[in-house]
Each structure stands twice: as C-alpha cells, then as structure tokens.
Amino acid sequence: MSFCILRSTTIIPAPARWAALLLFNALSLQACSLLPRADKPDPAHADLAATAAPAFAVELRAPDDVREVLERHLELLRFRHLSDLQRNELQRLLGAVDANARELLGTMGYFAPEITVESSQTPDSQEAPRTVVISVQTGAQTRIASADIAFAHGARAVDDAESRAQQRVRRNWSLAPGQPFTQSAWEAAKNDGLRQLQARRYPTARIVDSQAEIDADQHQARLNVTYDTGPAYRFGPLRLEGSQRYAPDGARRLARLPTGADYDEARMLDAQQRLASSGYYDSVFLTLDTEGSDPQAAPVVAQLREARLQKLVFGPGFSTDGGARLSLEHMHNRLPGLGWRAVSKLALERQAQSAGTEWTALPEDDGWRWFAGARLQREVNGDYDVDSARLRTGRSQSTQNIDRNYFLQYDAANSKSHNRQGLAAIPDSTAVSANYGWTGRYFNNPTAPTSGHGVALELGLGSTLRPKRDLFLRTLARWQSFIPAGRVQDAAGKGRNARVALRAEAGAVLARADAPIPETELFLTGGDTTVRGYGYHSIGARTGDGQLHGGRYLAAGSLEWQRPIVYRGALSDWESTLFIDAGAVADRWGRGALRPLVGLGAGLRWRSPVGPLQTDLAYGLRARKLRLHLRLGFSF
C-alpha cells in the first residue's frame, strides 16, 4: 500500500487587514482580465512557431480533460519549436516527461496513472522529423475517504459562540466523503473554512497545519486541517485618518458602525460603502486594528480622502423613454451657516425639463436626517403639457434593508393640451399633503439581484387648495421578487441560476369625483420600467373627448423569465429573457374600468460592473407596433 502525504502549513497575515486584501484581490482580478489567457500561447512562442521549423511533434493520447491540462503545462511542449535542439537535450526532456506528467495528474486526483513515452523518426512527415507519442491511462480518480477538521485552542476556553463557529465550518465543508480529490478543490475547501472564521468574530484566524494523506492503491484521500480561531474581536471606536474638511462626528454617524458589537466583515464593508457613497469622500478604506492589546475594543481605522467642498457635474445621456438628455448638477457639501448638503440640478430631455434643489442634513445618532427640496418641471403627461412646482420638507432614515421617510408636500400643476389648443379639460390646481413612505429591499445583490424581494408602500393624506378645497387620500404599493428557476451549467461545471422575475404595482387616489387633484399626484404608466411595448406615460385615463391624462387608479404587473447564456461551452455574462407586461390606468374603479394593455417580447441582459444593461424588443398588442427599450442598472 503506497501513501503520499501533501502537507502545508499556512500563516495568514493579520486578517485585521482582510478588507484590504479583499479590495486588492478585486483590483487584481480586474487587472488579470488584461493578461493573456493561460490556454493561449505566449506571443513570443507564437512568433517562434510561425518562423522556426519544429524539432519534433507531440501526440497526446489521453482523456479530454487530462489532455487539456497536459497540453497547457507539460514542459516538453515548450521546446518543440526549437529547431536547433540537441539530441542529448531531447533525451533529457523525454526522460522528465513521466515525472512531469505524474505531478500534473496528481493535482487532478490521479496518483496511479500508466504513462508511456515513445519517440520515432518521421523523416517523411511534413510536420516534424521526429514524433513523440505520450499515452496516458489515468486509472481511477482518488476520492475523499474522510475529512478531519480540528481546532487548536491552547489554554483558551471555548465559549458557545466559538463552538457554533466551529460547527459552521464543519457543516459547510465542501469536500464530503465520496467526492473526487483535486489539489485546487483541497485548497479551496481549506481557504473557504478560513474565510468563514475570519468573516465573523475571528479576523485573526489562521490555518495551523493541513495535510492530505493519499492512498494511491486504494485511490483514497484522508484530509486533515487544523485551524486556530484566535481571540474573538469586537468593534471599538472609529478612528479617522485624513479628515480635515468635514467633522469627524459626521463620519461616525454616516458609518453607523456598532461599537461594542462582535466583529463582522460584512457590517464593516457596509459602513465603508455608506461613507463612500455619502458624497463627502472620494475614497474610503476601513480596517480593523488588531495590533492593540484589547480585542474586545479593537479600533476601526478609516483612511479617508475627502471630496471637494463644491462640485459641478455635466452629464449627457440617452434613454428610449425620454430620448437625448443633458444635465448640469452642482453640489455644495457644507452650506454656510447651516452645514447641510445642497444638490441643485438642471435636466433637459424630450419629455421633461426640470430644475430643482435638494438639501439634506447629516444623519443623527439614530440615523434620521432632515431634508428639504424644491422643483420646477415641465413634463409631457399623456396629451397634456404639465407645468408643475413642488416643495417638500421632512425626515428620512436609511438602514441596511429599510428606507423610511415622512414629509409635508406642496404641489401646483398647470395643464395644457398639446394636441387641441384652447381645450381646458383639466383645471389648474394646488394641494398640500402629509406623506409617509416605507421601502424594504431584501435582494441578494443591490445592483444586480438574482434572488430576494422588495416591497414599497406610500401613503399620503392631503387637501386641494385651488380652485376649491377637497380632501384626498393617495396610496401606492410596489412589489418585486426574483424566484430561482433551475440552474444553468457550462462544460466546466460552472453554473448560475435562471430565475423568474415578478413585479406588481397598484395605486389609488381616493377623493370626490369632482375634486381638482393636481396632475402630479395622479398616475400614468408605460415605458422602459413599467409596460414595455408602449411609449413613456402613454397609458392613462381619458377625458370625455378622448384626451389622455393621469388617472386615479393604477394596476400594473410583469412576468419575466431570465436565463444565463452558455456560449461555446462557457458561461457568459449575457442572459436572455422572455417577458409579458400589463398595465391599466382609469379614473374610476369597477368592472371594465381598468382594461389592461399588454406588451410581450424578448431581450438580452449584460452583467456590467454597474448593473445589468437591458435591451428589450417588445410588441404592444393594443399599439400594434414594436418598440426597442434600453435601460442600465437596477433600482427598486
């Protein structure tokens, strides 16, 4: 019985810096995309192959997956295009083939292969004067017999939390008995267990020892790995480096890092993301300081590069809903005397032109912040050009999954028909309302979700002011869910879930029939994000003479099947989709009032770094025409 022991002892550098390593790895992966693929020949070798007569040809006789690895890494193949290769050097290379091939096959779990190497003269061959034939019979692949996962404690007592962490590593161990053994899978299993420990409570966990005992006769592998969790850590105070322009207390309230809570890498990265997206900092980098003497109050170091006090942004754009778009945005991060941020924006496009400003205070300790805003807008709403003004002030709070806000709002709207001049079907109106909004997002990814759901509710109680006073109640509910629908795998076993995306939206404005509700409080639908196959805001209610305008009741929904695309045997970043949308708007509720307009079609999705790029071709059954819809990113 023959044994081979693969042993490694790994010392992990202070995982207190794990966030740094995570960022570095992400950047490295991006950089790696610029490197030549491993399965492609080096350009220099390609030039040599094109210009030099080969010294010998190589014929590999082996199973497909094994042959691909040998063709890519076998040392002999690197020298076949050297036309001046000496005979004694070739003999040395041929003598090393067996050991070289066995080493490569061992990484794939084949420890008892049969390898033969034959060399013969081929003077009449047009390819090379000599041919080397390498025949490989892999034999049975080694499989996992057992996996012993141990933990070193020293003199430290094990509490319940550490015991649960150990059980989690054992429960999630990826190399179960019976599975094939490969070196890459073995390394991945060990590192995955380490990552599970380092991600929560134990940032300084490390691998003390690991070994794989290989029984080549029985084709079995016995795995042993020992982890040392190290001490449990808790978040200490946030320590800022590079803060000059903005108050340190503001950064602490923006980060919302729970001082005294168990270390959690995900919570620290969330705090880093909140700071980075706040607009006050151009770059943010958080690390846990594990060099101190008290792991129960380890400081979190925030390395900051502050944003400029003022910023001006000019942005061109295009959408199939609104056409070409230009925007000019000015941001002031600390208004004199108030300390709030002011974002003022001018936007021009075919369907709407607007100018507005939004002022927000820094969040308080509980996460709530004050805000105020004003907006002037001219927009095409159905068959009407609507000039509107809006004032709003209130408070908002954003947590990990939930956004809340409550505010007072003033609306004024002036509607003019752009189809029939002089028609005064909708009176000018103003209104004031008190509103509350709640949005819960429970997606697995905020920018490109593949599972999870979101729910949003809006409720407003108000009164019209002009031309007469009437109470009204406005409510809107939205829901979206992604449901896995099978798994798509490529030839290498890499896979991604297909899914069904469901979306529903319903709204109502309850008031007396003759209440003059501002057009900006009513509903229209249709376009890229609602009912595809129809133009932007082309689905609404109708006046007595057929003019399209905002209605008091809304119902819309969508059913979409999204499936990853496998191209040339490899899983790509593209997905195909089939969908059906439906939506209806009316001024009254009852049988036959909400008659849905239906659109159906197909599209493509590209998983870009900033979210899915969506291209859809939809046919509106009522409109009887095809429409192209383009959209970048996901929002709920």
Q: Which CATH architecture has domain 3-32+142-228?
A: Roll (3.10)
For domain 235-306, the question of CATH label 3.40.30.10 is answered with no
Break the chain into its structural domains and give their ranges.
Answer: 3-32+142-228, 43-137, 235-306, 363-632
pLDDT confidence of residue 126: 67
pLDDT the model gives residue 14: 36
The pLDDT, as a whole number, for residue 34 is 32
**Torsion angles phi and psi, residue 463, rounded to 5:** -140, 140
pLDDT score at 65: 81
For residue 182, which of 39, 36, 64, 69 has the smallest C-alpha distance?
69
Q: What is the mean pLDDT of residues 289-295?
A: 89
pLDDT over threshold 70, residue 22: no
**Residue 93: predicted pLDDT:** 84
As a whole number of angstroms, the distance between CA 10 and CA 194 comes to 11
∠ CA 156-298-17, nearest 5°, is 95
Mean pLDDT value of segment 580-599: 91
For domain 43-137, give the fold: Ubiquitin-like (UB roll) (3.10.20)
Beta partners for 409? 392, 433
Alpha-carbon dihedral sign for residues 104, 108, 109, 112: negative
Contacts of 241 (CB under 8 A, 6+ apart): 301, 302, 303, 304
Does the predicted model carry a pTM greater than 0.75? no
Q: What is the pLDDT of residue 523?
A: 96
pLDDT for res 81: 76
pLDDT, position 21: 35
Residue 350 has pLDDT above 70, yes or no: yes
Distances (CA, A) of 132 to 76, 80, 116, 142, 312: 10, 10, 10, 28, 67
Residue 442 exposure: Cα atoms within 13 Å on the Cβ side:
10
How far is Cα 584 from Cα 596, in angstroms, rounded to an integer?
4
Query: Across-strand partners of 594?
Result: none
Is the pLDDT reported for residue 67 higher than 90?
A: no
User: How do 352-360 and 341-349 pair as beta strands?
Assistant: antiparallel
> Is pLDDT above 70 for 274?
yes
Q: Rounded to whole angstroms, how far apart are CA atoms 582 and 556?
A: 6
pLDDT of residue 38: 38
Q: What is the mean pLDDT of residues 320-327?
A: 84
pLDDT band at 423 (very low <50, low <70, confident <90, very high): low
36 against 95, higher pLDDT:
95
Tell me how crowded residue 206 is: count the other CB atoms within 10 A of its CB: 21
Q: What percent of the chain has pLDDT over 70?
A: 89
Given a cut of 90, whether residue 319 has pLDDT beyond it is no
Indicate if 363-632 has the same CATH topology as 43-137.
no
The pLDDT assigned to 17 comes to 37
Confidence band for 6, pLDDT divided at 50, 70 and 90: low
Please give the pLDDT value at position 425. Answer: 56
CA distances from 384 to 104, 395, 424, 628 (A): 72, 33, 10, 24
Residue 32's pLDDT band, with cuts at 50, 70 and 90, is very low
Contact 367, 378 (CB under 8 A): no
Average pLDDT, the chain: 86
Q: Does residue 631 have a pLDDT over 60? A: yes
Task: Kindly give, in sequence order, each residue whose CB lies less than 8 Å from that of residue 249, ignoring residues fewer than 6 positions away.
Answer: none
Confidence band of 461 (pLDDT split at 50, 70, 90): very high
Q: Is the pLDDT of residue 28 over 80?
A: no
pLDDT at 421 over 70: no
pLDDT over threshold 90, residue 618: yes
Q: How confident is the model at residue 591 (pLDDT cuts 50, 70, 90)?
A: confident
**pLDDT tens digits, residue range 170-195?**
999 998 899 999 999 999 999 999 99
Which of 605, 608, 545, 611 minimizes the C-alpha distance to 579? Answer: 605
Estimate the crossing angle of helix 183-199 against helix 265-276, to 10 degrees: 70
pLDDT of residue 7 exceeding 80 = no
Highest-confidence range of 31-45, 176-190, 463-477, by mean pLDDT?
Answer: 463-477
pLDDT in tens, 541-587: 988 778 888 999 999 999 999 999 999 888 999 999 999 999 999 99
Architecture of domain 363-632: Beta Barrel (2.40)
DSSP β-bridge partners for residue 207: 227
Task: Copy the structure tokens of residue 210.
Answer: 């690991």
pLDDT digits (tens, 9 = 90+) for 241-265: 988 889 899 999 999 999 999 999 9
- 390 Ramachandran zone, left/alpha/beta (phi>0; psi -120 to 50): beta
